[in-house]
Structure 1
Amino acid sequence: MDTTLATRALSTLGHPGRLATFRLLMRFAPQGVRPTEIATALAVKQNTLSHHLSDLVASGLANVDRDGRSLFYSVNIEVAEALLSYLALDMGRARPDLIAPIQASLAAPSNGPWNVLFICSKNSARSIMAEALLRDLAPNSPVQIRAASAGTLPNSTLNPWAIETLARNGHDTSNLRAKHITEFQQPDAPRQDFVFTVCDAAAARDCAPWPRHPFTAHWGVPDPASNTSDTDTDHAAIFAQTYALLRHRITAFLKLPFTALSPICLQTHLDAIGTDTPKQG
């Protein structure tokens, strides 16, 4: 990245509103986000957000794509990588006292056991189903995996339809409980190797970075609890669809050849799983 492009990118990120917008887009990367969802998450007016997004696109830090009548904004990973390289390698001259601490914090997962954490807003349905699924499917993996889940909102309770769906599919639900994310952010909490958000609200939340920077990805799943139908049949069908989607993605995760993948390739696979859906029919 040349100095002109770096100056433009740094100037764009020098505004708190644009920086907050870019940080949110990074949490969804490489997926795109609608402006309405960004405005809600950041509590900013639509016209203000429009200026922020326009500036990010003009600087090359963000992309915008149209899908039908909707616009989706996403991070330009190549430009973001170039900016970080400019700061660390060009301006910073790759000084060991600058680079070494970053490299040490990005230590790859060991050969196991690995801790995998699923996060959603309430830890009542999607993330708790993901925890049970991974817990019961992981024994077939060559690497020992410990599954957990948490919510960003306190005082949640398990959704009875989620519990019923898990039980109907043969999962033991006796030890499942709703947990707040702070339980996993304590100094003595286990290191997380993988952290996946399964709802947009959790991904949009600006939380502190995880210690030792685990692999992260957004595996957004529609909220089955938002269904307004009054019939048990509809509720059961929607939760069954959620279960099937989560099982599909977790199965794909467990099939990854972890030891054969570089960190970049592994991240690419994790991102791809977040948009993968079961084939119909």
Structure 2
Amino acid sequence: MMNIRHDELSRPEPFAGEDHLSPYTLALREHFPSREEILREAKRQTRRQRGLKKTAGVVASCLALALSWYIDPVLQRESMQTAVGQQATYHLKDGSEVTLNTNSLLVVEQHLYSRQLRLPQGEALFRVQHGWRPFTVYAYQTTIRDIGTVFNVRNTAHGAEVTVIEGLVEVITGTAKQVLSHHQTLRSEAGALSDIRHISAESATAWQQGRLMFDAQPLSAVVAELQRYHAGQIQIADSHVGQYQLSGEYDIHGIDALIDVLSEILPVRVERHADQSVVIRHR
């Protein structure tokens, strides 16, 4: 019986014929890749698989887009636009009516199974002709779906404002959703919807009647509204002046006259410049 010590197992003696295998080792290396080559190939295959996944994702997106076009293709697209201080009414092919307020842009798409309108800037009043195709308006990441109504949409600098004059609309932004009925309004901003407020029909449609209505509005808000109808910049020079309040009903086509009369209503001085800009200062 042979006795074997542990240290003999852990430290084997060199194989006497190891040098004789060198020619065979070289031959094997010529036919089989080295460890470094295997790692390089693995990295190359990984990059290739990532590229294939990315390509597959792009192809899938293109197929989805093509499928959506095939299912509900655009039959007609037209744009409508108003200049600063201009208002215009348009009659759509489906019998609906759109009135654009000052400095507004509307893109109308008649699809096979839907009516889609985009309001990238400005304000518009929609009188929708009932039909089997849904009527949807998009403004500042907000979706407004008609449920048989007359409604107003305004795309502001930070969101969208929706007011219903008749009927119902569904307003969606992000995960928030609300249904508005007649004489109700709300704002959509930063993926959220404000609380619903009630508004009189008179004030809701004032701009379409050529009127601006203010009820104890701070001058800063009044100037922001006037700016929409005035080509030159209107600036409040003193911050506390913007806190003065203004009430009343004014002609929407007489913005310059309203600016001039501010010095008679409030303790301010109005300065006009050659470039049509206006500066309002404390008097």
TM beyond 0.5: no
Name the structure where helix makes up a greater proportion of residues.
Answer: 1
Name the structure where strand makes up a greater proportion of residues.
Answer: 2
TM-score range, shorter chain: under 0.3
Structure number with the bigger relative contact order (C-alpha 8 A, sep ≥ 6) is: 1
Using the size of structure 2 for normalisation, the TM-score is 0.23
